[in-house]
Structure 1
Amino acid sequence: MSTFASAREAARAAAWLETYGSPLYVYDLGEVELRARELLAVLPAGSRLLFSLKANPLPAIAARLCQLGCDAEVSSPGELAVALSVGFPAERVLYTGPGKSAEEVHRALGAGVTGFSAESWLDLERIDRAARAARVRARVLLRVNPNAPPVARLAMSGVSSQFGFDETELVEGRARLASLDGVELMGLHIYQGTQLADAQALLAAVQQALEVGEALCGALEMPFQVVDVGGGFPWPFATPGVGLEAAALQGPLALLAARRQRTASSALWFESGRWLCASSGALWTTVVDVKRSKGKQYVVLDSGIHHLGGMSGLGRVPLVGMGVARAGAETEPGALEEVNVVGPLCTPLDCFARNLKLPSLRPGDHVFIPNVGAYGLTASLTGFLSRPPPVEVAHRDGVVLSVSRLRWGHESYEPPATARLRSKQEAR
């Protein structure tokens, strides 16, 4: 599937490619604002919306979502550092994910973050010990893996999973919860998965999460302050298109929220990364070669799976659609030709699209891949073949607001214990 840039888009991108180099990620913060306001407007009254930084930890995007009233969901020290650096108050950060180390938890607590999602008994007890050692009280959501089957394409619950307590395990072990002195059990965290197919699937996931909340509130005999129902708001990835009509969710979500009984007073939390920033991003790249081999036409770009969808070699990311812009020429094509679009890496896995119909391209032409503001660069194999990451530009109405690039390459490393010993020796 292909599309074509407007003359204005083509000229703007050509100027930025000339200034910052190719390939180039371009993020429109106006799109981020639009998506955030759409989603905030349809959530039930009193709900909180958490931005999942895993989708795109670019500081400029995170900062704008913080200003718009979102909270932050993080699952690594790097994401936490970004969230705090752009202004998210520590009390508006939820630290999630399986396998949180004791050091991670200690650092988060030391930074003032007390909100955690616990994935297992060991994870919960580790948070409890760290909180007692820090003489603070951690506010914890119990992540639940429901008994009901999943409704998501990429399921994170309802199946055997590393995520969360099995629902029955939590009920059977409820006595263990009373022995925890360092944590305050705030409620539940139920995340079905990403890219729910449509509005019907999304509403079914929310309904299932709320039903689990109702059941566990009774079984655990525990009032919940919070029920985090996750996200899964869908948006196309690396192909032209738009997500579902957000306004259609408002009435059904309000009705589901109003039907609650045991958890009627619990605050509802929703999470989103993909919906909030996917539409903002495009990867602009330049044609470096056009060749023919055994009857097939190949277009070779200066960007590949190390910059977008590095998991495609594992069959986890679909082939992309792309747009075309030729500087100084009409954007609408004449005849289309069938081509394979590939990158510069020394592997046959480095393929963006096969048998894609595009106008005739030549070296120096610019093409772009839309809808990659989420899980684009951040989900790619940036270290593969030691090629530098692309520059990332964030703008609003064409005014560039930030220009950055991920660090890459090797640097010397000194273990913390060695550094402490060296510091002591130097102090003598």
Structure 2
Amino acid sequence: MPDCADLIARHFSADSGVLVLGQHARVDSIASQYGTPFFVYDSLVLDQKLAVLRKTLPKEFSISYSVKANPCQIILKHFLTAGCGLEIASGGEYFQARKAGCAPERIVFAGPGKTEDELEYVLSNGIGEIHAESTQEIARIAKISERLQKKSHVAIRVNPTEEVLGGAMRMGGKATPFGVDEELLDTILPLIEANPYLEFQGLHLFSGTQILDYAVLVAQYRKGISIAREIVKKINRPLKTIDFGGGWGIPYFGQERELDVTRLAEGLEILMTEVRHDQAFAGTQLMVEPGRFLVGESGVYVTRITDIKVSRGKKFLIVDGGMHHHLAASGNFGQVIKKNFPVGIVNKVSQEAEEIVDIVGPLCTPLDVLARQVKVPRVTVGDLVGVFQSGAYGRTSSPLHFLSHCSPPEILVEHAKATMVRARGTYDDMIRDCC
């Protein structure tokens, strides 16, 4: 896994052996003020990652932050203020996007199971594009649009015939519930083109997540351009939009290395030299919708050691947080074999690691393991464990009510100030929606 010391040097700092976020926000002070466990995000890292993304992309690209990665309101507002749009995958995410102040025309809606209620909700209130994923969905959009007497902007999410290798989750070339198979475009396109309540916008291509190989992303974008050219031939006009999806990864495990954005920028610029001179793309807006790449490295999940025990020669650190708050770190969110996120004792980051331990949560299930066989300094009850790379797919991707523990607060550090942006859950929350 990436070394915690390297992550601290790259994104954060330390003061007297204590992790510091932003300019002067010590993690032990945050823990004293708000209690543990909690998620904390550094706004400076959000800005750094957005700057890297913009520097890497050719000038023709716009950015829509993928809400599913982390829908915290303050994070949505942060990216909106920075000029990004938002990509959503549910009616609930649409609600959160609008609450954050996003104009409807800056929202795109993808997802394989959009319900009629969700479609009516977003179409009634305004939406930039809906990325359709089946003939039935296109028919539902058309029916609702006719009832509302509105013309709806529709793009097609395409499942390519060729698999783009290298992503942790691949969605191209194989049978998948996502998108429309490329070979069915001849059937799908006329359904949209012939309907007076639908306006065909373009293409959404997405074939993988957690991609760390720049060549895979370049190949994916090149494939998208190729499919777009074929669509342009069929409709005899340029597309208005091409959405290349997300998929930009960050390193978590083993020997994973950062995405080589320098080589990626070079590859995309070569591709764009071809596209810029092609009338098939005159006026076409290109876009990406990253989530993890923008927020993942900004976040740390902090939990406190409540007990230390040895069982048959193995040492366990028991902490007050666990898989119910951070399912991904426990290995139960997409991993076949449990691998450790970068984990450290964040009030002792300068001390040398001396002992091998398992770090486990408070739940009465063997699944509640944040780290197995990790080397840490000598610890005592009360020390703070930090799980790095926790800004994406953390709190809202976890079973927060499992065993009825309270949900963790979220803290945003801006420069030297740490502010709670989502309150800690209460026992009342657990029965609030009971009838």
**Length-normalised TM-score, structure 2:** 0.88
The answer on whether the counterparts of 1:277 and 1:374 sit within 8 Å (CA) in structure 2 is yes
Partner residue in 1 for 2:132:
118
Deviation of the 1:389 alpha carbon: 1.1
- The residue identity in structure 1 corresponding to 2:4 is T
After the TM superposition, which residues 208-219 of structure 1 pair with which residues of structure 2 at under 5 Å, given as runs? 208-219=223-234
- The residue identity in structure 1 corresponding to 2:358 is N
- The residue identity in structure 2 corresponding to 1:211 is S
After the TM superposition, which residues 295-314 of structure 1 pair with which residues of structure 2 at under 5 Å, given as runs? 295-309=313-327, 312-313=331-332
Which sits farther off after the overlay, 252-261 or 154-163?
252-261
Partner residue in 1 for 2:183:
168
Distance in 1, Cα, partners of 2:91 & 2:418: 28
Deviation of the 1:237 alpha carbon: 3.8
Q: Residues 222, 169 of structure 1: CA spacing in aligned structure 2 closer, same or farther, 3 A cutoff?
A: farther
The answer on whether the counterparts of 2:193 and 2:200 sit within 8 Å (CA) in structure 1 is no
Verify: 1:150 aligned to 2:184, yes or no: no
Choose the corresponding residue for 1:178, options 185, 193, 208. 193
Partner residue in 2 for 1:263:
280
- The residue identity in structure 2 corresponding to 1:113 is I
- The residue identity in structure 1 corresponding to 2:286 is L
Deviation of the 1:59 alpha carbon: 0.8
Deviation of the 1:217 alpha carbon: 2.4
Verify: 1:279 aligned to 2:280, yes or no: no
Distance in 1, Cα, partners of 2:293 & 2:254: 14
Matched residue SS, 1:263: helix
Distance in 2, Cα, partners of 1:376 & 1:335: 26
Deviation of the 1:406 alpha carbon: 7.0
Distance in 1, Cα, partners of 2:178 & 2:332: 24
- The residue identity in structure 1 corresponding to 2:394 is G
Deviation of the 1:367 alpha carbon: 1.4
Verify: 1:410 aligned to 2:431, yes or no: yes
Which sits farther off after the overlay, 36-45 or 397-406?
397-406
After the TM superposition, which residues 285-364 of structure 1 pair with which residues of structure 2 at under 5 Å, given as runs? 285-309=303-327, 312-313=331-332, 316=335, 318-326=339-347, 331-334=349-352, 336-364=354-382
The answer on whether the counterparts of 2:71 and 2:96 sit within 8 Å (CA) in structure 1 is yes
Partner residue in 2 for 1:426:
none
Deviation of the 1:309 alpha carbon: 2.2
Partner residue in 1 for 2:11:
none
Deviation of the 1:392 alpha carbon: 0.3
Choose the corresponding residue for 1:227, options 231, 242, 252. 242
The answer on whether the counterparts of 2:163 and 2:171 sit within 8 Å (CA) in structure 1 is no
Q: Residues 275, 383 of structure 1: CA spacing in aligned structure 2 closer, same or farther, 3 A cutoff?
A: same
Partner residue in 1 for 2:209:
194
Partner residue in 2 for 1:137:
151
Distance in 2, Cα, partners of 1:217 & 1:413: 52
The answer on whether the counterparts of 1:240 and 1:321 sit within 8 Å (CA) in structure 2 is no
Distance in 2, Cα, partners of 1:200 & 1:166: 23
Verify: 1:127 aligned to 2:141, yes or no: yes
Q: Residues 275, 410 of structure 1: CA spacing in aligned structure 2 closer, same or farther, 3 A cutoff?
A: same
Matched residue SS, 1:308: coil
Partner residue in 1 for 2:56:
42
Distance in 2, Cα, partners of 1:263 & 1:384: 52
Deviation of the 1:73 alpha carbon: 0.3
The answer on whether the counterparts of 1:171 and 1:220 sit within 8 Å (CA) in structure 2 is no
Between Structure 1 and Structure 2, how many residues are aligned? Answer: 411
Partner residue in 2 for 1:207:
222
Distance in 1, Cα, partners of 2:341 & 2:207: 25
Deviation of the 1:245 alpha carbon: 3.9
- The residue identity in structure 2 corresponding to 1:81 is F
Distance in 2, Cα, partners of 1:388 & 1:413: 17
- The residue identity in structure 2 corresponding to 1:75 is A
Deviation of the 1:331 alpha carbon: 3.5
Verify: 1:27 aligned to 2:44, yes or no: no
Distance in 2, Cα, partners of 1:20 & 1:402: 8
Distance in 2, Cα, partners of 1:410 & 1:257: 54
**Length-normalised TM-score, structure 1:** 0.90
Root mean square deviation of aligned Cα = 2.3
Partner residue in 2 for 1:9:
19
Deviation of the 1:158 alpha carbon: 2.2
The answer on whether the counterparts of 1:117 and 1:189 sit within 8 Å (CA) in structure 2 is yes
Matched residue SS, 2:52: helix
Deviation of the 1:218 alpha carbon: 2.2
Choose the corresponding residue for 1:55, options 69, 73, 83. 69
Distance in 2, Cα, partners of 1:231 & 1:21: 35
The answer on whether the counterparts of 1:239 and 1:370 sit within 8 Å (CA) in structure 2 is no
Distance in 2, Cα, partners of 1:65 & 1:59: 10
Matched residue SS, 1:36: helix
Verify: 1:107 aligned to 2:121, yes or no: yes
- After superposition, give the CA deviation of every residue in 1:274-319 in whole Å (9 maximum; x if it has no partner): 1111111000110111111111111111111111125733652732
Q: Which runs of 5+ in 1 are unaligned?
A: 415-428
Partner residue in 2 for 1:87:
101
Deviation of the 1:139 alpha carbon: 0.7
Distance in 2, Cα, partners of 1:174 & 1:52: 26
Deviation of the 1:142 alpha carbon: 0.5
The answer on whether the counterparts of 2:30 and 2:418 sit within 8 Å (CA) in structure 1 is no
Distance in 1, Cα, partners of 2:235 & 2:431: 50
Q: Residues 21, 402 of structure 1: CA spacing in aligned structure 2 closer, same or farther, 3 A cutoff?
A: closer
Choose the corresponding residue for 2:269, options 251, 254, 258. 254
- The residue identity in structure 2 corresponding to 1:163 is F
Partner residue in 2 for 1:377:
395
- After superposition, give the CA deviation of every residue in 1:340-382 in whole Å (9 maximum; x if it has no partner): 1111111001111211111121110011011110111121121
Q: Residues 318, 158 of structure 1: CA spacing in aligned structure 2 closer, same or farther, 3 A cutoff?
A: farther
The answer on whether the counterparts of 2:298 and 2:389 sit within 8 Å (CA) in structure 1 is yes
Deviation of the 1:412 alpha carbon: 3.7
